[in-house]
Amino acid sequence: MTLIGQDQPGLVEAIAAVVDQHQGNWEESRMARLAGQFAGILKIEIETDQVAPFKAALEALTTKGLAVQIVDRASSHSQLETGRRITLELVGNDQEGIVHRIASTLATHEINVESFESSCESAPWSGEALFKATAELTAPSTLNTEALQSDLEKIAAELMVDFSLNQSL
């Protein structure tokens, strides 16, 4: 399930309480606060007979300002879960188009973005905005690593950013 809403104390507890009340198992999650908003994606295992009351209880969380969407795992199973794992790290002066250029190159190579985190910080030597990003990627086993490296090096030269690729075996 996914959820989003205005950040406030007690949101995670409210969700956890609903999961617990319906004998659910909280298997995996990623949650964050950004620009005053709270967002999360959760993997919850729940018995079939608890699904309807669980959904109704989650709808009650709208009073706390949360929008919740539930997706049945059977219909959302991804074929992209296998493949080569790659970590991409990038740093450079902040400018428009960095994420788009990198994402476009990854898509061209049929690489799936599993997670992506970015931030802008003040560069220690100049005080200019410094863009940093880390992405966890899944690439097809047929990936031409040299071609990907070459494409990313072209972008790095044009945008004046540094990047590194680390592959897991």
Tens of pLDDT, residue by residue, the chain (169 residues): 999 999 999 999 999 999 999 999 999 999 999 999 999 999 999 999 999 999 999 988 888 889 999 888 765 555 555 789 999 999 998 888 899 999 999 999 999 999 999 998 887 777 788 899 999 999 999 999 999 999 999 999 999 899 999 987 5
Where residue 156 sits, what CATH number does that domain have? 3.30.70.260
What range does the domain containing 11 cover? 2-76
Amino acid type, 167: Q
Tell me if 33 sits within 8 A of 11, measured CB to CB.
no
Tell me if 96 sits within 8 A of 159, measured CB to CB.
no
Same domain, 67 and 6: yes
Q: Please write the tens of the pLDDT for every residue from 73-122.
A: 765 555 555 789 999 999 998 888 899 999 999 999 999 999 999 998 88
Same domain, 13 and 38: yes
Strand 2-6's sheet: what is its strand order? 25-34, 37-45, 2-6, 66-69
Measure the CA–CA gap between 122 and 130, rounded to whole angstroms. Answer: 6
Of 76, 111, 131, which residue is a domain's last? 76
